Amino acid sequence: MVAKAMQVAKELEKENKQVEVINVRFLKPLDEKTILESIQKTKKVITIEDNILTGGLASHIEHLLIENELENIKFKSFGWNNSFVEHGKVEELEKLYGLDVESIVNYILGTGKFL
């Protein structure tokens, strides 16, 4: 997923948006210090994971936000919902479920007005 996050960052930078990408290689131990520093600086968090959102990185970040009583933080997670996923090619499924680079960038710049 780091490659996808880097692609998203590259597309956003073309639109003169500054982004930070943190490679969360492991959920345990989670590098809370680095993540919290970035959140406090940017006031925004986007997680992109090739995993079910429940119990994944998004859940851990939500816990960090609550545990550290961080408020007024924009947060959006991209990953698989805990439901049946159609069968097909990965690229097609990512497009269908809004997990491809184009969909993520469009959300961030468009309806999400994230940046």
Answer whether residue 20 is part of any domain.
yes
Task: Identify the domain containing residue 7 by its residue range.
Answer: 2-109
Token pair 């680095």 is found at 34
Answer whether residue 40 is part of any domain.
yes
Report the CATH number that the domain containing residue 31 is assigned in CATH. Answer: 3.40.50.920
Answer whether residue 77 is part of any domain.
yes
Answer whether residue 71 is part of any domain.
yes
Q: So what's the pLDDT on residue 71?
A: 93
Q: So what's the pLDDT on residue 114?
A: 77
**Tens-place pLDDT, residues 25-68:** 888 899 999 999 999 999 999 999 998 899 999 999 999 999 99
Answer whether residue 16 is part of any domain.
yes
Answer whether residue 11 is part of any domain.
yes
Give me the half-sphere count of Cα atoms (radius 13 Å) on the Cβ side of residue 30.
13
What are the backbone angles phi and psi of residue 108, rounded to the nearest 5°? -60, -40
Token pair 């959920």 is found at 27
Please compute the mean of the pLDDT values over residues 69-93 and round it to a whole number. Answer: 91
Q: Calculate what percentage of the chain has a pLDDT beyond 90.
A: 80
Domain count, the chain: 1
Answer whether residue 115 is part of any domain.
no
Q: So what's the pLDDT on residue 115?
A: 67
